[in-house]
């Protein structure tokens, strides 16, 4: 049965990937194309499975996520095979950077698969409800990938059909956001609030996108539109309204979201299908779009047998408030040599070869169990970790910040939201009576700690810094690279350095370069 679904998904992907170019006027009879494919409910399902298989490719490894390394929370090895990461980290990637290339390719492949459904699903002889579900999945993932692209590249080609046009002009940032909002509003209007059967619903979790997931995503989009580069601050009011609807739905029992009582379970494999996840990407053999997440060695240092793609930055680690959230985000101590020779000694991160804090967000214990830093980590590179693109804690913080910025003074619900997140992290309630600006700044910091090092998040620390136009300050801090005291008498510095000839160039420094190959095909891809 499973093999049949895999075969069908492969056929569906072939159909959705078919070029709609009219360069060759062939007779399409007997050929599998998006125009002829959606003739039954099974085929509509298979088209959606094929879309989700492309969605998995967006995050199956770190390459498409490299923009997150511009944030002040993540750095990397300046040598080894991490040069592309280090170049992004230092704000000077070339047009051959594989992170830019992978993000561009994987996102446009999802968009193309989504377009195939959007432009053809309504012809399927099935119920309006089923068409809405398929259309809603497609519009959501199209919107989300344009959201990734516009924040990473700025002006981009905007295609809503399946055609190939290498002379397509670039849409402005505002035009792209207009399309994103349109798609997400459609999702809010046509999607149900829950599903009942696999693969749409598994282990008490909605795997397919729901109305409330689209609302939460729209809140994050409005937040981005309120900040740089559009700076349309009126959208903070819209963001607060979207987030509030989700929060009220949770309070009434209409929506399923929770805050995990213990922070250690936020990313743990034992709580892989936690309903703290609002939008997720599922990587598991249980699905008809089989794929694995290749990140379980990404945090483990190379000196310990891992890949060491993402290291914690030193200042961010030092400023991070102590408590269960910090202990679940970074290794409190590091098992010497990962216990290779039955070692049991626990050392501080500044005693390691890498001399940086070590994130533990993706690391697994041996036997694919929850990671315990006092015991050896697994060397398995793939697993079924469900990527948490949006968590409910973020929705609470988005409401709190957006409401304070929109109205100038935080209300009672805003305080309630941020305090729930802080209390779970082991922190006291936020001081009452803060100004709107001071309160919003506290929300910004809180969100940074919630997503620190988690480059799979839809809104990473880098994205928050971009929205508030603070990436230049991050760049300047990296140029200065002042030593930081991490323990009495222990001073350490970052190891990724900004080259002396690299200067801040505004948008050119913020946005990734258009991939060289695509720029050769489309001459409009120029900075």
Res 110: pLDDT = 97
Res 284: pLDDT = 72
Angle at 89 between CA 87 and CA 91, to 5 degrees: 70
For strand 484-487 and strand 490-492, is the pairing parallel, antiparallel, or unpaired? antiparallel
pTM of structure: 0.94
The answer to whether 274 touches 257, Cβ cutoff 8 Å, is: no
| Sign, Cα dihedral of 512, 516, 522, 525 | positive
How many Å apart are CA 142 and CA 100, to the nearest integer?
Answer: 18
How many Å apart are CA 9 and CA 288, to the nearest integer?
Answer: 8
The answer to whether 522 touches 166, Cβ cutoff 8 Å, is: yes
Res 36: pLDDT = 77
Residue with tokens 């990140």: 295
Res 520: pLDDT = 94
Can you list the residues of the chain whose pLDDT is less than 70? Answer: 1-34, 285-290
Contacts 24+ apart (CB under 8 A), 470-478: 471/70, 471/91, 471/509, 471/510, 472/504, 472/506, 472/509, 474/70, 474/71, 474/72, 475/91, 475/504, 475/509, 476/504, 477/72, 477/315, 478/89, 478/90, 478/91
- When the pLDDT of each residue in the chain is averaged and rounded to a whole number, the result is 92
Beta strands in 429-516 (DSSP E): 484-487, 490-492
Q: What is the CA radius of gyration of the chain?
A: 23
Res 527: pLDDT = 87
| Number of other residues whose CB lies within 10 A of the CB of residue 374 | 13
For strand 170-171 and strand 156-157, is the pairing parallel, antiparallel, or unpaired? antiparallel
How many Å apart are CA 167 and CA 277, to the nearest integer?
Answer: 40
Res 318: pLDDT = 98
CA–CA distance from 136 to each of 24, 127, 279, 281, 288 (Å)?
A: 32, 14, 14, 16, 19
Res 290: pLDDT = 63
For helices 128-153 and 173-190, angle between their N-to-C axes, nearest 10 degrees: 150
Residue with tokens 């919630």: 450
For strand 387-391 and strand 277-281, is the pairing parallel, antiparallel, or unpaired? antiparallel
Kindly list the structural domains of the chain, giving each domain's residue range(s) and its CATH number in brackets, ordered by start: 192-292+384-459 (1.25.40.390), 295-381 (no CATH)
Written as one string, the DSSP assignment of 131-154 is: HHHHHHHHHHHHHHHHHHHHHHHS
Res 286: pLDDT = 56
Res 33: pLDDT = 67
Of residues 148, 61, 71, the one with CA closest to residue 104: 148
CA–CA distance from 139 to each of 48, 118, 186, 526 (Å)?
A: 11, 7, 8, 28
Res 162: pLDDT = 79
Residue 17 has which token pair? 């990937």
Give per-residue pLDDT as tens, 25-62. 444 444 556 677 899 999 999 999 999 999 999 999 99
Res 17: pLDDT = 44
Beta strands in 432-512 (DSSP E): 484-487, 490-492
Angle at 323 between CA 402 and CA 340, to 5 degrees: 120
């Amino acid at each position: 049965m499973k093999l049949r679904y895999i075969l069908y998904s492969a056929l569906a992907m072939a159909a959705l990937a078919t070029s709609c170019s009219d360069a060759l006027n062939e007779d399409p009879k007997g050929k599998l194309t998006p125009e002829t494919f959606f003739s039954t409910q099974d085929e509509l399902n298979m088209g959606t499975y094929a879309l989700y298989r492309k969605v998995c490719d967006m995050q199956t490894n770190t390459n498409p996520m490299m923009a997150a390394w511009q944030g002040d929370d993540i750095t990397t090895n300046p040598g080894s095979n991490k040069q592309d990461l280090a170049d992004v980290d230092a704000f000077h990637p070339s047009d051959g950077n594989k992170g830019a290339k992978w993000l561009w390719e994987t996102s446009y492949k999802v968009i193309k698969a989504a377009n195939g459904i959007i432009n053809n699903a309504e012809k399927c002889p099935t119920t309006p409800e089923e068409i809405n579900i398929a259309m809603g999945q497609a519009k959501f993932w199209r919107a989300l990938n344009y959201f990734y692209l516009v924040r990473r590249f700025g002006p981009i080609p905007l295609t809503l059909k399946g055609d190939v046009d290498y002379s397509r002009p670039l849409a402005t940032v505002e035009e792209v956001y207009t399309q994103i909002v349109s798609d997400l509003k459609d999702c809010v209007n046509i999607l149900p609030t829950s599903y009942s059967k696999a693969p749409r619903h598994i282990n008490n979790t909605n795997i397919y996108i729901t109305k409330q997931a689209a609302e939460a995503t729209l809140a994050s989009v409005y937040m981005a539109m309120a900040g740089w580069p559009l700076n349309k601050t009126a959208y903070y009011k819209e963001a607060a309204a979207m987030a509030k609807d989700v929060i009220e739905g949770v309070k009434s029992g209409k929506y399923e979201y929770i805050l995990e009582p213990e922070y250690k379970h936020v990313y743990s494999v034992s709580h892989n299908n936690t309903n703290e996840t609002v939008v997720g990407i599922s990587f598991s053999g249980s699905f008809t779009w089989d794929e694995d997440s290749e990140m379980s060695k990404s945090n483990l240092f190379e000196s310990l047998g891992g890949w060491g793609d993402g290291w914690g930055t030193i200042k961010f680690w030092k400023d991070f408030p102590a408590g269960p959230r910090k202990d679940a985000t970074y290794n409190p101590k590091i098992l010497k040599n990962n216990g290779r020779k039955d070692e049991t000694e626990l050392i501080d991160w500044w005693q390691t070869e890498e001399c940086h804090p070590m994130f533990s967000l993706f690391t697994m214990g041996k036997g694919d169990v929850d990671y315990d830093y006092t015991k050896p980590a697994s060397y398995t590179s793939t697993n079924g970790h469900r990527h948490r693109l949006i968590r409910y804690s973020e929705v609470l913080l988005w409401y709190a910040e957006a409401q304070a910025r929109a109205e100038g003074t935080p209300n009672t619900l805003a305080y309630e939201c941020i305090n729930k997140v802080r209390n779970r992290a082991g922190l006291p309630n936020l001081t009452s009576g803060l100004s709107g600006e001071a309160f919003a700044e506290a929300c910004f910091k809180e969100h940074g700690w919630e997503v620190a090092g988690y480059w799979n998040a839809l809104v990473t620390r880098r994205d928050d810094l971009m929205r508030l136009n603070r990436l230049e300050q991050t760049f300047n801090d990296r140029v200065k690279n002042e030593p930081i005291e991490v323990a009495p008498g222990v001073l350490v510095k970052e190891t990724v350095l900004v080259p002396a000839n690299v200067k801040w160039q505004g948008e050119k420094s913020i946005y990734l370069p258009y991939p060289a190959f695509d720029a050769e095909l489309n001459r409009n891809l120029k900075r």
